[in-house]
Amino acid sequence: MSLVGKKAPLFKAPAVINGDEIVEDFSLEQYLGKKEVIFFFYPKDFTFVCPTEILAFQEKLAEFEKRNVAIVGASTDTEETHLAWLNTPKDQGGIQGVTYPIVADVSKTIATNYGILGGDWDYNEEGDLTFKGDPIAFRGTFLIDKEGIVRHEYVNFFPLGRNIDDTLRIVDAWQYTVEHGEVCPANWEQGKDAMKATREGVADYLSSH
C-alpha cells in the first residue's frame, strides 16, 4: 500500500555518515521541522546498477542541499559492508566519496515498513517459516516533508535504475506547490508555468499551451 499522504515510518538503525563513521542509532527524526528528505533504498552493496545511482545522488547533492533537502540511502546490508564499499575506489566498483548517510537495515524491518522488500515470509506445507521472493529492497524512493509526511514515492524493480534529475524535479514541484499554492501540470519543470487548482485555472493553462 502507498505511503503517500501518511507519516513516514520512523526507525533507529546503524548507518555510515560522512563516508567514514558508523553511528548506531541513526534516525530520520533529526530532520523533522528542519529539512525535507529524499530517502531511497537500493538492493545491495557491491553490485552493478546500485553504485551508479548512489554516485549520481552524490553528484547532485549540492543541488538538493541548496533546496534544504537531505539525502539518505539504505539497503539491507550491514553497516560494516557499507563502510567497506564506501572505502572502495570508484574504478574498483566502489562508492568512495559519498558523504550522505547510508542506513543498514539488516533486520529488513525498515524496508518492510516502507513496503519495498522484494518478498515476504510465509509458512510452507510443513509449517516452517520460509521467505518467498528476494530478501532485499527494491529501488524505492520517498520524498518526506518537514512534518514527516510522505509526499511522493516510486519503486523500481531491481534492474531499473532511477532518474536522479527527475527526483530533483519532484522536489522542485513540491516546494513550488507549498510556496505558491498552485499545482504542477504534466512535465512541469522549474521555471515553467504552473496553474491554479480550479476549472478556470485549468482552462487558462490549457488554452495557453
Percent of the chain topping pLDDT 90: 90
Residues of the chain with CATH 3.40.30.10: 13-162
pLDDT by residue (tens digit) across 66-90? 999 999 999 999 999 999 999 999 9
CA distance 91 to 136: 25
Write down the pLDDT at residue 209. Answer: 87
Contact assessment for residue 93 and residue 46, using Cβ atoms and an 8 Å cutoff: yes
Write down the pLDDT at residue 205. Answer: 84
pLDDT by residue (tens digit) across 50-68? 999 999 999 999 999 999 9
Does 142 have pLDDT greater than 90?
yes
Write down the pLDDT at residue 74. Answer: 98
pLDDT by residue (tens digit) across 2-21? 999 999 999 999 999 999 99
Beta strands (DSSP E) in the chain are: 13-17, 21-26, 36-41, 69-75, 102-104, 117-123, 129-137, 139-144, 150-156
Does 151 have pLDDT greater than 90?
yes
Taking residue 87's Cβ as centre, other Cβ atoms within 10 Å add up to 13
Does 23 have pLDDT greater than 90?
yes
pLDDT by residue (tens digit) across 166-177? 999 999 999 999
Catalytic site includes residue 50 = yes
pLDDT band at 208 (very low <50, low <70, confident <90, very high): confident
Mean pLDDT score across all residues of the chain: 96
Catalytic choice (50, 110, 144, 168):
50
Does 203 have pLDDT greater than 90?
no
Cell (9 digits) for 169: 524535479
Homologous superfamily of domain range 13-162: Glutaredoxin (3.40.30.10)
* Angstrom distances, CA of residue 101 to CA of 30, 83, 110, 197: 12, 11, 15, 37
Percent of the chain topping pLDDT 70: 100
